[in-house]
Structure 1
Amino acid sequence: MSAQSDLSGPRLLTVLYADVHGYTGLVERDEAGTVARLARSLRLIRRLTGDYGGSVVNTAGDGLVAVFESVHQALHFALEMQQELSQDAAWTGGAEPIAYRIGISIGEVFAGDDGVYGHSVNLAARIQSFAAPGGVCITEAVYRLVRGHPDLILRSLGRKRLRNMTAPVEIYAVGLASAAAGPRAIPAAPPPAAGTLALPDASLAVLPLENLSGDPNDLHLCRGLAADLITSLSRFRHLMVIARHSAFLAAAEVASLREIGRRLGVRYLLAGSFRRVDSRIRITADLIEAETENTLWSERYDGAMAGILDIQDDIAATTAARVALRIEAAERRRLAEQTHPALYAYGLVLRGLELDFRFRPEANLHARRLFEQAQELDPLYGRSYAAMSRTFNVEWRYNWSSDPQAALDRALDLAKRAVECDGFDARGFSEMGLAHLYKKQHAEATSAYEHALALNPNDADLLAYTGDCLAYVRQGERAVRLIRRAMRLNPYHPDAYLWFLGDAYFHMGEYAEAIEALSRMRDGSEAHRLLAASHALLGQMDEARHHAREVMRVHPNFTIAHWRKVPPLQHPEDLELYVDALRMAGLR
């Protein structure tokens, strides 16, 4: 049989060619370290390619070829891959980072046992050499297909002559318009009016660290360190700490420290800066009285990246003490007994958590790959299992899984593993509670959430999700109290808090209050079911039928037969009341 007959095709595909910049020099200077970093990056890229809709068809030495059905998926993957690898540089302990150059073309290709062939493959391989290290170049054909995308910056590099090709080819460099903006934020609630919130003595907001490194790829570190400080400080029972989402949004919207304090309703602000040069870091921390903008305590920490977690611990403990907080014996024991993960594993988890805020299936899978790598590096790092458990809970919640029950089972197994590794981290118990709840194991769910709250009583999301759980087991009054406290700790709270509140009121029989809460959601598309049922039970049938029509507009495949399986209500009669109300509104 001839070689030609072994080929299939041609097929119109997008071809991505990636090659490591300066690989020979890297190997010459550090052969063992470079090969290890290359293998790690290739392993991650192979896993991610499928998550973004492509497949790796060939790897040779320091390069790889992947194909995609969609040019948009290929470019999306390329940009995410480059951002991922550029963030990796902060965690390599001073070693030279691996930087790929990527070329993307589109055209007909032939497939064989050992790869793909054709002019488009050669074109992608040639144009990648014009990309900057960590950059992406595309052909004119790709440019025509993506040029209208608002998030892309496309810059012509001119017409270039390529080796063994007769005609010059125009090449474009691609960048993201929002490369430094970070993850997409959850829509924010309107900020509370200044001066309307009481200021508890021990109330604090942690602002994102200012990035003084000059490298936008360190932004994930600045946000991640601040978020971890919030988690550490919210464990102190007598300290009210504003949630990450609200603190970061207020800092982005308002320049004055006094106004930030007023908007968030706190007495103190913890601000600071981060600077990294290779593996050396400098972190400053300032505890500020918001109303006067006076600095009460300031400290500068110089050290290596390897000591970053010890610096976090010291900032958290000193801040708590300076706010005149009584540190309880249990918290002192937790601080003394905690162990720190491998530094690179910690970096992988921080990068994965950044992706959590995008709420897109490919970002969820991308985060999961990072958590998998963290577990491979440090099998006892409990937080990596809790974070990975969340990806399966999110997959179930947003109906991204082809096997929803398996997703919940996996979420529960990972949460249990997280708790085994670190019994002091509330995140594992929280994910365990969510998985148990939607498996309708109510006693186990409430027990897990109560344990999580005992460990971290001031985590806004945990309070809201615990309230959601309690609403399903006829503990509505406490559910409302917890959800309202979550809103106080997270003034720019997401719509989910209002949905939880409306759900709690509905199952308490307070339908007018449910309607009021649900009507405040910025995106009310998921509120129509509860609104239809609430109006129906109040006898307001015109409104009930309106929301029933909206349910069918948003979810054309909605059926009561399917929906009755979803709410994890403990008592069957509560479910029947809900279902009957939906029928009264006109849903079937």
Structure 2
Amino acid sequence: MLDLLRGTLVREGKPVAVGQKGLSLLQALVEAPTQALSRTALMEAAWSDAVVEESNLSVQIAALRKLLGPQPDGSEWIATVPRTGYRFAGSVHVLDPAADDALPSQLAGLSERASIAVLPFANVSGDREQAYLADGITEDIITALTRFRWFRVIGRNSSFVYKDKSVDSKQVARELGARYVLEGSVRRSGQQIRVSTQLVDAASANQIWAERYEMELTEAFAVQDAIAERVAGAIEPELLKTESLPAVGRNSGNATAWDLVRQGTWHFHHVGRQTHLRGRELFRLACKLDPELAEAHLWLGRVSAGIVAYGWSDKPAQDIREGLDAALKAVRLDEKNPYSHYALAICSIYANAQEQAVLAAERAIEISPSFALGHLAMGMGQLFRGSASEAIAPLEHGLMLNRYDPQNFVWFNVLALAYLFAGQANEGLVAAIEARKVGPTWRPTHETLACCYVSLGRLPEARSCVELMREMENPTGDALAPLRLRNPHWADQMADLLKKAGWQQ
């Protein structure tokens, strides 16, 4: 069974380890059974974003034949068509994924990529003429979500079947094959607009995330774009964290590379030395199991940067090199995935390659304008290369899109430093306090707080921060090392401020 929704190949109820290129080729072949597909068409199916030699196709076809084995009559599943290409020689039976009994029971529990249906937002303004605004916001959110490559979005025409109908999430899940449902309402009063939205796990009917947005209605299209960007940017990390949960407890012995990635992301989001190191082990194993799975490589890049940044690495130069190599491979495998470019950006920052970091972040934002981590990495790269004032806007924007990330103490601390070095200590203090709320035990935040307090002439508060710093464990690494190395004048400024607060190195 080739399950296109899950991105898995299954034999007798057990997943078969097949690479991403192999899956793409197999999909192209079975979608045109008995038809001869040219080598050019198959190359386009598997390597649409890259220029590779035709011999790569022959290697992948040979690997697929070995993986599938012979048909019951002894013939190959994939036949060679002389002077043309290949065709799928077996019979194909298509199952309806929306039907309750479509999939055999053995598939229950296998990993699947998240699917989400965005139901038409309700117009609760009491004015039928405002329905266009609710529909426009719904369509914009669908479009914005489709830019995230790791989960599937139900198309607009399917979702809008439920317009003005009373349905529950389980019914939508059954009929559309969606795992999650996003629903909401739009209310307009004069020039004010309020959008309420919630994300629901369709199987359990549990609410995963909810938010309300209030904006000035100066121009309908601008409001639609702004709300769509905020919703997409906010629910994407929530879905990512939620999707990693089911895979953690399983240990069937048949884990696919995608299972391992999901388990690794669960550990990654529980920010700590042991969880990050465990996540790295899982990502490394996923890369080995499926060398062409871009997600495995980009997550290896991300976790490597985190291990170095938080001071959990015994060999930081070696670890960041591993992260850079993994991120570069992720970009080669999936150039249109914003996460690949973010992984390259964050690894480049800790490899002291700030210009490369900024370019990678720019590319991530070009691919997905509502991608919060792209904006955050852009701000960090700008700050670390010495442009404090240019770092503020992308950091503020990224934090607005991604308000609940458990690692926001890092981004708020970077924003505080950007304000401090830009001569805006008051704003820096506000950001540093936010950083302390999210991560009260991270020492760099208290360093920044102390510097802001001294800059504002508030020495007693600064000395309190220094006392807390003395009680905290001294990290083995320095999260701000690239900043200090590239900008020694800022390093001296911070040292002088901390000295006035009573800190002695």
Aligned to 2:10: 93
Shift of 1:492: 2.8
- Are residues 1:475 and 2:370 paired? no
Aligned to 1:410: 322
- The alpha-carbon distance between structure 1 residues 548 and 524, as it changes in their structure 2 partners (threshold 3 A), is same
Is 2:328–2:344's contact at 8 Å kept on the other side of the alignment? yes
Aligned to 1:497: 411
Is 1:272–1:286's contact at 8 Å kept on the other side of the alignment? no
Amino acid at match of 2:265: L
The C-alpha deviation readout for 1:289-313, integer Å capped at 9, x for no partner, is: 4348999xxxx9xxxxxxxxxxxxx
Aligned to 2:114: 225
Q: What is the TM-score of this pair, normalised by structure 2?
A: 0.51
CA distance in 2, matches of 1:383, 1:348: 10
Instruction: Count matched residues.
Output: 306
Q: 1:290 aligns with which of 161, 171, 185?
A: 185
- Are residues 1:540 and 2:458 paired? yes
SS of residue in 2 equivalent to 1:501: helix
Aligned to 2:135: none
Shift of 1:582: 1.6
CA distance in 2, matches of 1:451, 1:387: 18
TM alignment of 1:82-231, pairs within 5 A: 93=10, 95=12, 225=114
- Are residues 1:370 and 2:282 paired? yes
Q: What is the TM-score of this pair, normalised by structure 1?
A: 0.44
The C-alpha deviation readout for 1:196-240, integer Å capped at 9, x for no partner, is: xxxxxxxxxxxxxxx999x9x989957x615999xxxxxx99966
- The alpha-carbon distance between structure 1 residues 537 and 239, as it changes in their structure 2 partners (threshold 3 A), is farther
Aligned to 2:313: 401
TM alignment of 1:250-269, pairs within 5 A: none
- Are residues 1:529 and 2:415 paired? no
CA distance in 2, matches of 1:503, 1:429: 24
The C-alpha deviation readout for 1:548-585, integer Å capped at 9, x for no partner, is: 111111135799xx788463563321222122212222
- The alpha-carbon distance between structure 1 residues 499 and 357, as it changes in their structure 2 partners (threshold 3 A), is same
Amino acid at match of 2:10: G
The C-alpha deviation readout for 1:113-159, integer Å capped at 9, x for no partner, is: xxxxxxxxxxxxxxxxxxxxxxxxxxxxxxxxxxxxxxxxxxxxxxx
Aligned to 2:331: 419
Amino acid at match of 2:374: L
Shift of 1:90: 11
TM alignment of 1:320-339, pairs within 5 A: none
Is 1:386–1:418's contact at 8 Å kept on the other side of the alignment? yes
- The alpha-carbon distance between structure 1 residues 435 and 228, as it changes in their structure 2 partners (threshold 3 A), is farther
Structure 1 residue ranges without an equivalent (≥5): 1-88, 99-210, 230-235, 245-269, 301-322, 326-342
Amino acid at match of 1:421: L
Amino acid at match of 1:488: M
- The alpha-carbon distance between structure 1 residues 476 and 430, as it changes in their structure 2 partners (threshold 3 A), is same
Shift of 1:387: 1.0
Q: 1:386 aligns with which of 298, 301, 305?
A: 298
Is 2:264–2:283's contact at 8 Å kept on the other side of the alignment? yes
Structure 2 residue ranges without an equivalent (≥5): 1-5, 16-99, 119-139, 149-167, 188-194, 203-223, 227-254
CA distance in 1, matches of 2:186, 2:277: 43
CA distance in 1, matches of 2:297, 2:491: 33
Shift of 1:287: 6.0
Q: 1:555 aligns with which of 473, 476, 484?
A: 473
Aligned to 1:141: none
SS of residue in 2 equivalent to 1:93: strand
Aligned to 1:514: 428
CA distance in 1, matches of 2:493, 2:462: 15
SS of residue in 2 equivalent to 1:524: coil
CA distance in 1, matches of 2:146, 2:402: 6
Task: Give the root-mean-square deviation of aligned CA atoms.
Answer: 4.6
Shift of 1:406: 0.9
Amino acid at match of 1:404: P
Is 1:237–1:457's contact at 8 Å kept on the other side of the alignment? no
SS of residue in 2 equivalent to 1:525: coil
- Are residues 1:578 and 2:494 paired? yes
Is 1:242–1:489's contact at 8 Å kept on the other side of the alignment? no
The C-alpha deviation readout for 1:485-515, integer Å capped at 9, x for no partner, is: 2233223343333223212211212111111
CA distance in 1, matches of 2:266, 2:340: 18
Is 1:356–1:363's contact at 8 Å kept on the other side of the alignment? yes
CA distance in 2, matches of 1:451, 1:220: 33
CA distance in 1, matches of 2:446, 2:196: 48
- The alpha-carbon distance between structure 1 residues 426 and 324, as it changes in their structure 2 partners (threshold 3 A), is closer
The C-alpha deviation readout for 1:150-185, integer Å capped at 9, x for no partner, is: xxxxxxxxxxxxxxxxxxxxxxxxxxxxxxxxxxxx
Shift of 1:377: 3.8
CA distance in 2, matches of 1:242, 1:476: 33
The C-alpha deviation readout for 1:243-272, integer Å capped at 9, x for no partner, is: 99xxxxxxxxxxxxxxxxxxxxxxxxx977
Aligned to 1:101: none
Q: Could you tell which deviates more after superposition, 452-461 or 508-517? A: 452-461
CA distance in 1, matches of 2:111, 2:458: 52
Shift of 1:91: 6.3
CA distance in 2, matches of 1:350, 1:481: 32
CA distance in 2, matches of 1:271, 1:470: 43
Q: 1:437 aligns with which of 345, 349, 353?
A: 349
CA distance in 2, matches of 1:228, 1:394: 33
SS of residue in 1 equivalent to 2:114: helix
SS of residue in 2 equivalent to 1:290: strand
- The alpha-carbon distance between structure 1 residues 558 and 441, as it changes in their structure 2 partners (threshold 3 A), is closer
CA distance in 2, matches of 1:580, 1:218: 61
SS of residue in 1 equivalent to 2:370: coil
Shift of 1:283: 3.3
Percent identity between matched residues is 19
